[in-house]
Structure 1
Amino acid sequence: MAMRKYPIYEDFVGSNTPHYLTRAHRFYIDVRQSRHCYLHHHNYAELSFFIEGGGVETVNGVSHRLMPGSVSLVLPYQMHIIRGDVDQKLRKYCCMFDIQLLTELNDDRWFSYMLYGVGANTPSSVHFDESEFERIHSIFEFLRQEYEDADRPGRPQLIRTKLNEALLLFLRKGITARTEQQSEAPGADDKTRLQWQLLQFVHTHFDERLSLKELSERFYLSVPYLSRFFKSHVGMGFVDYLHRLRIERASSMLLNTEMTIHEIAFDVGFDNSRTFSRVFRELKGKTASEYRMTALK
C-alpha cells in the first residue's frame, strides 16, 4: 500500500490527559468504535480486540482482515491504518500502554524476543474462534473494569498480570499462524517490507544524526533511490519529513515537560536551537514559546 500522506505521530494514551498506571508508565483501555482511517504511529504499544463489525488493518505495509475475534498488536513506532467496512461499525477494546510496563521483558528472553518480533517474525494480527472468544473477551473486560477503578489495592500488579496473559495468548496464536504464512511465496513483498523497515528506522531514530547517505549504507539502497522513495511515499523530501517528525515530538514535549526550548531542540535531534526555531515556526505558524503559552492558557 503506497502512502501519499505522511504518517501522523501521536504520543498521547487515551486522550490528551496523561493516563499513568505507575509513576513512569502509561496504561489506558476502553471500548470504542474504530475510526483510524489515516496512517499514524505512536510511542506506545496498542493491543486491540475486535468484537463487532469488519474491516482491514495495515501494519507496516502488511494488511490483515479484521472481524469479531481478531486481536492485533502494534508495537511502538510501527505505522498502521484501520479501515472499517462501509456498511458496518467496527468496535473494539483498545488497550494502549508503554512497553516498559512489562517488567518481565528484562528477565524473560523468550518473551522479549517474541514480543519485539511481532510484525517481523510473527503476524501483527491473529484470530480467536468461537471456542476461544469468551476467554479473550473476559481478559479484556477484566482489564477495563480494573482500570476504571483506580482505588483498588494491587491494581497495577493485576493489570500487568492480565496484560501478560493476553499477550502470551496472542503470541501463542501467532506462532501457529507463522507456519501458514511462511508457506506463502514472499517474493513480491520483499521490497515492500524493506521500505517499511526503512520508514520504521527513521521513525525510531529521528532524534539522532540521520542522512540519506547513512540510510543508503545501512539499507544498501542508493541515495537517488531513497530521495525518490520519500517523495513518492510520504509526499515530501527526506529532510522535510525528518523535520516534521522532530517538530511533532517537540510539540508534545513543550506541552508535557518543563524542559527548556533549547533542551528540547537538542533532544529531538536538531544541531542548534536556531534551526529548530525556524523550522518550528514554518510548520506550526508560531514560535515554540508562543505554542507553549497558548496551550497553557
Structure 2
Amino acid sequence: MHRVRLAEVFPPGRPPIAAERFELRSDTAAHSHDFIELAVVTGGTATHVSAAGEQPLDRGAVTMLRPGDWHGYRGCDRLTVYNLYISPEAFRRELAWMRAAPHLGPSVRIAGRSGRHTGHPLRLDPTALRVVETGLAETSGEPGSDPALHPGPAYAVRVGILLCLLGGVAAHGSTDATSERTDHVHPAVLAAAQFLEDDIQRAWNLGELASTVNLSPPYLTRMFTAHLGVPPMTYLGRLRAERAAALLIETDLSVAAIGRLAGWHDPNYASRRFRHFFALSPAAYRARFRPGGC
C-alpha cells in the first residue's frame, strides 16, 4: 500500500498546511500517510473505505484521518475532493489552542477518538462549505498535482480555512451530545494531553497524570472526556497505536520492539491494544499496508 510521507507534502521551509484538489472517476486504492488529512467532498458521490468500515459520501461530507490511518474510495461517480493536509507537529503545538476554542472543540476532538470511529464522514455546514470550497479552490493545485509545489497563500490564510472547515463541522453537529459539554476547556486538560503526547513511552497511570496537573483522578477523567471525547488513558492508547502503525510501515523492527517504542512492553498486550484501534493485528497491518506488502 502506498504511504504518503510527511517530507513529500511538507518539505523544509514550507508552511505546515497544504491543500490539493482531486477529481475521481474510478476507485482509489487504500493508502495511508503520516500527517493529518481532512477531505472535503464538493461534488459527486463515492463510498469511503477505512478501518471504520464503508460509508457513503456526497457533497458536504468531510473525513478526518490521523497519522497511521488508511482509507480509499470506491464507486466514484465524478467525485471532487479537496484535501487539506496538516503536519501533526503543527496540530499538537502551533494549533493546540484550537482544543480550547469553544465552537471548535467538537471537531478537534477527532484527535482523541478511537480507530473504530476515525474515518467516518462528518457533515459540513452548507454556509461554511461554500466558504471553504472557495478558499480551497484558490489555494489548491491542479487535480493530482503535488501539493508541495503549490504552497498557496500565507500560513495565516490556511489556518483561516482550517478554522472555517472545523467550525462548519461543529456548527452542523451542534445539536448532538457534544453540544452539551461545557465550552471552557480546563487548562489542566490541555496540559495533561500535552504531557501524554510528549512522552508516550512513559508508563503513565491515571493517578500519576492527575497528580502532575494537580487534579484528582476522577475529576481529570470527567473533564478530559468532556473536552477531548475519551478518557486520558484511551487518548494515550490512541497515540501509541499511531506510533506503532507508523513504525510497522516504515521499519523492519519486530512487533515486540515496536510495542516497546510505543510504550507497550508486553507483546501480547501491545497486539490487543493495536487491534482495538486499527481492527487488525500489528502483523496483519504491516502485511496489508506496507508498500510492496500487498
Report the TM-score, using the length of structure 2 for normalisation. Answer: 0.52
Contact 1:52 1:92 (C-alpha < 8 Å) held by counterparts:
yes
TM alignment of 1:146-157, pairs within 5 A? 155-157=154-156
Q: What code does the residue aligned with 2:134 have? A: S
Matched, 1:210 2:251: no
2:2 maps to what in 1?
8
Unaligned runs of 5+ in 2: 142-146, 179-237, 260-264, 274-279
- Cα drift, residue 28 of structure 1: 2.7
Aligned to 1:38, what secondary structure does the other structure show? Answer: strand
Aligned match of 1:95 in 84, 106, 110? 84
Equivalent-residue separation in structure 2 for 1:200 and 1:137 (angstroms): 30
Aligned match of 2:137 in 134, 141, 145? 141
The structure-2 alpha-carbon separation of the partners of 1:117 and 1:62, relative to structure 1 and needing over 3 Å to count, comes to farther
2:187 maps to what in 1?
none
Contact 2:45 2:58 (C-alpha < 8 Å) held by counterparts:
yes
Unaligned runs of 5+ in 1: 1-6, 180-196, 222-227, 249-282, 285-297
2:53 maps to what in 1?
62
Q: What code does the residue aligned with 1:216 have? A: N
TM alignment of 1:154-169, pairs within 5 A? 155-169=154-168
Aligned to 1:23, what secondary structure does the other structure show? Answer: coil
Aligned to 1:76, what secondary structure does the other structure show? Answer: coil
- Cα drift, residue 130 of structure 1: 4.8
Contact 1:33 1:92 (C-alpha < 8 Å) held by counterparts:
yes
- Cα drift, residue 58 of structure 1: 2.1
2:112 maps to what in 1?
117
Contact 1:50 1:93 (C-alpha < 8 Å) held by counterparts:
yes
The structure-2 alpha-carbon separation of the partners of 1:123 and 1:59, relative to structure 1 and needing over 3 Å to count, comes to closer
Equivalent-residue separation in structure 2 for 1:68 and 1:48 (angstroms): 11
Equivalent-residue separation in structure 1 for 2:125 and 2:152 (angstroms): 35
Aligned to 2:63, what secondary structure does the other structure show? Answer: strand
TM alignment of 1:1-297, pairs within 5 A? 7-11=1-5, 19-20=10-11, 23=13, 25-34=15-24, 37-85=28-76, 88-102=77-91, 103-110=93-100, 111=105, 114-118=109-113, 124-128=120-124, 130=126, 133-144=129-140, 155-173=154-172, 176=175, 202-206=244-248, 210-211=255-256, 214-220=266-272, 241=287, 245=290
1:11-51 per-position Cα deviation (integer Å, ceiling 9, x unaligned): 167xx5x554x726543323221356212111112211112
Contact 1:143 1:162 (C-alpha < 8 Å) held by counterparts:
no
Contact 1:115 1:171 (C-alpha < 8 Å) held by counterparts:
no
Q: What code does the residue aligned with 1:101 have? A: A
The structure-2 alpha-carbon separation of the partners of 1:218 and 1:113, relative to structure 1 and needing over 3 Å to count, comes to farther
Report the count of equivalent residues: 204
The structure-2 alpha-carbon separation of the partners of 1:210 and 1:168, relative to structure 1 and needing over 3 Å to count, comes to farther
Aligned to 2:78, what secondary structure does the other structure show? Answer: coil
Contact 2:42 2:60 (C-alpha < 8 Å) held by counterparts:
yes
Root mean square deviation of aligned Cα: 4.3
Mark the structure with the bigger radius of gyration: 1
- Cα drift, residue 165 of structure 1: 2.6
1:44-101 per-position Cα deviation (integer Å, ceiling 9, x unaligned): 122111122111112323322110111111211111111134xx21112122231323
Equivalent-residue separation in structure 1 for 2:176 and 2:66 (angstroms): 18
